[in-house]
Amino acid sequence: MLSRHYRLSSEKDVRQVYQSRFVIRMRIFDMRLAKNSLRHPRFTVVVSTKISKSAVVRNRLKRQIRATLALYARQPGPGYDVIIITKPNILKIEAGERTQLLNRAFTQTRLWPKESKK
Per-residue pLDDT at 110: 67
Residue 79 lies in a domain: yes
Per-residue pLDDT at 105: 82
Contact 8, 69 (CB under 8 A): no
Neighbouring residues of 99: CB distance < 8 A, sequence distance ≥ 6: 64, 68
Residue 41 lies in a domain: yes
Number of domains in the chain: 1
pLDDT of 16 higher than 70: yes
CATH number of the structural domain spanning residue 86: 3.30.230.10
What is the residue type of 13?
Answer: D
Per-residue pLDDT reduced to its tens digit, 33-81: 888 888 888 889 999 999 999 999 999 999 998 888 887 777 666 788 8
Residue 116 lies in a domain: no
- Taking the C-alpha atoms of residue 113 and residue 87, their distance in angstroms, rounded to an integer, is 25
Residue 8 lies in a domain: yes
Per-residue pLDDT at 57: 93
DSSP 109: T
- Taking the C-alpha atoms of residue 54 and residue 48, their distance in angstroms, rounded to an integer, is 10
pLDDT of 102 higher than 90: no
Per-residue pLDDT at 118: 38
Per-residue pLDDT at 21: 83
Per-residue pLDDT at 112: 62
Residue 117 lies in a domain: no
Neighbouring residues of 114: CB distance < 8 A, sequence distance ≥ 6: 107
Q: Which range marks the domain in which residue 67 is found?
A: 4-102
Distances (CA, A) of 91 to 101, 103, 114: 14, 18, 26
